[in-house]
Chains A and B, each alone.
Chain A
Amino acid sequence: MSDTTMETRQVPINKPPASVKVQRVLKGVPMRLILLAIILIWVVPILGLLVSSFRTPEAINNTGWWTVFGNLAATDWTLSNYISVLYADFMGLAFLNSMLVTIPSTVIPITIAAFAAYAIAWMDFPGREAIFVIIVGLLVVPLQMALIPVLKVYTANQLNGTYLGIWLAHTGFGLPLATYLLYGYISGIPKEIIESAHADGATPWMSFTRLVLPLSKPAIASFAIFQFLWVWNDLLVALVFLGTKKENALVTTRLAEMVGSRGQDWHVLTSGAFLTMIMPLIIFFSLQRYFVRGMMAGSVKG
Chain B
Amino acid sequence: MAQVPNKNNRLFEIFAAAPTRIAVSLIVPVVTFLVLRWSFIFMRDSEASKFLIGIVALTIGVGGVWVLFAATNNLVSMLPTRMRDTLRPFVFVGPAVAVLLFYIVFPALRTIYLSFLNRTSTEFVGLRNYEFVFTDPQMLIILRNTLLWVLIVPFVAVAMGLLIAVMTDRLRPGWEKIVKSLIFLPMAISFVGASVIWRFVYYYQPAGYEQIGLLNAIVTAFGGEPVAWLIIRPWNNFFLLFIMIWLQTGFAMVIQSAAVKGVPSSLLEAARIDGANEIRIFFNVIIPYIKGTILTVMTTILFMVLKIFDIVYVMTSGNYDTGIVASRMYKEAFIYRNFGRGSALAVFLFIVVIPFMIRNITQMRENRR
- Residues of chain A from 266 to 294 with CB closer than 8 A to chain B in the complex: 266, 269-270, 272-273, 276-277, 280-281, 283-284, 288, 291-292
Complex contacts, B180 vs chain A, CB 8 Å: 1, 5
The answer to whether B170 touches A31, judged by C-beta atoms less than 8 angstroms apart, is: yes
The answer to whether A299 touches B251, judged by C-beta atoms less than 8 angstroms apart, is: yes
Q: How far is A148 from B177 in the complex, measured between Cα atoms in Å?
A: 44
Tell me which of A73-81, A189-197, A215-223, A230-238 binds B: A230-238
Q: Which of B61, B108, B199, B339 contacts A141 (CB 8 A)?
A: B108
CB distance from A89 to the nearest CB of B (A): 13
Complex contacts, B283 vs chain A, CB 8 Å: none
Q: Which of B105, B192, B251 contacts A255 (CB 8 A)?
A: B192
Q: How far is A274 from B278 in the complex, measured between Cα atoms in Å?
A: 41
Tell me which of B8-16, B136-144, B347-355 binds A: B347-355
Complex contacts, A128 vs chain B, CB 8 Å: 89, 93
- Residues of chain B from 185 to 202 with CB closer than 8 A to chain A in the complex: 185-193, 195-201
Q: Which of A63, A208, A284 has the most CB of B within 10 A?
A: A284
The answer to whether B188 touches A141, judged by C-beta atoms less than 8 angstroms apart, is: no
A125 at the interface (CB under 8 A from B): yes
Q: Which of A31, A145, A236 has the most CB of B within 10 A?
A: A145
CB distance from B294 to the nearest CB of A (A): 14
Complex contacts, A276 vs chain B, CB 8 Å: 190, 192-193
Q: How far is A173 from B241 in the complex, measured between Cα atoms in Å?
A: 25
The answer to whether B353 touches A140, judged by C-beta atoms less than 8 angstroms apart, is: yes
B65 at the interface (CB under 8 A from A): yes
The answer to whether A144 touches B182, judged by C-beta atoms less than 8 angstroms apart, is: no
Complex contacts, A280 vs chain B, CB 8 Å: 188-190
Q: How far is A125 from B87 in the complex, measured between Cα atoms in Å?
A: 9
B164 at the interface (CB under 8 A from A): yes
Complex contacts, B167 vs chain A, CB 8 Å: 31, 34-35
Q: Which of B190, B200, B300, B350 contacts A145 (CB 8 A)?
A: B350
The answer to whether A52 touches B200, judged by C-beta atoms less than 8 angstroms apart, is: yes
The answer to whether B1 touches A295, judged by C-beta atoms less than 8 angstroms apart, is: no
The answer to whether A61 touches B314, judged by C-beta atoms less than 8 angstroms apart, is: no
Complex contacts, B306 vs chain A, CB 8 Å: 142
Are A163 and B43 also in contact (CB < 8 A) when A142-B306, A204-B92, A277-B190 are? yes
The answer to whether B365 touches A133, judged by C-beta atoms less than 8 angstroms apart, is: yes
The answer to whether B197 touches A5, judged by C-beta atoms less than 8 angstroms apart, is: no
A70 at the interface (CB under 8 A from B): no
Q: How far is A260 from B317 in the complex, measured between Cα atoms in Å?
A: 9
Are A296 and B255 also in contact (CB < 8 A) when A43-B182, A65-B212, A96-B54 are? yes
Q: How large is the interface on A (under 10, 10 to 19, 20 to 34, 35 or more residues)?
A: 35 or more
What 1/0 mask marks residues of chain A from 127 to 168 whose CB sits below 8 Å from any chain B CB? 010011111111111111111111100000010001110011
The answer to whether A147 touches B92, judged by C-beta atoms less than 8 angstroms apart, is: no
The answer to whether B329 touches A124, judged by C-beta atoms less than 8 angstroms apart, is: no
Complex contacts, B62 vs chain A, CB 8 Å: 103-104, 107-108
Are A284 and B307 also in contact (CB < 8 A) when A5-B257, A100-B54 are? no
B342 at the interface (CB under 8 A from A): yes
A203 at the interface (CB under 8 A from B): yes
Are A163 and B61 also in contact (CB < 8 A) when A123-B92, A133-B364 are? yes
What is the interface of chain A mostly: helix, strand, loop, or mixed? helix
CB distance from B112 to the nearest CB of A (A): 8
Q: How far is A157 from B8 in the complex, measured between Cα atoms in Å?
A: 45
Q: Which of B43, B189, B199, B210 has the most CB of A within 10 A?
A: B189
Q: How far is A281 from B198 in the complex, measured between Cα atoms in Å?
A: 18
What 1/0 mask marks residues of chain B from 28 to 66 whose CB sits below 8 Å from any chain A CB? 000000000000100110000010011001101110011
Complex contacts, A201 vs chain B, CB 8 Å: 1
Q: How far is A38 from B356 in the complex, measured between Cα atoms in Å?
A: 32
The answer to whether B197 touches A111, judged by C-beta atoms less than 8 angstroms apart, is: no
Q: Which of A34, A123, A270 contacts B89 (CB 8 A)?
A: A123
The answer to whether B212 touches A115, judged by C-beta atoms less than 8 angstroms apart, is: no
A29 at the interface (CB under 8 A from B): no
Q: How far is A87 from B210 in the complex, measured between Cα atoms in Å?
A: 30
Complex contacts, A123 vs chain B, CB 8 Å: 88-89, 92-93
7 interchain residue pairs of minimum CB distance: A172-B103, A104-B61, A233-B190, A116-B96, A119-B92, A125-B89, A149-B107
**11 extra interchain contacts, Cβ-Cβ under 8 A, other than A12-B269, A276-B190?**
A2-B254, A60-B212, A104-B61, A111-B65, A131-B93, A140-B360, A148-B342, A149-B110, A259-B192, A263-B199, A302-B303
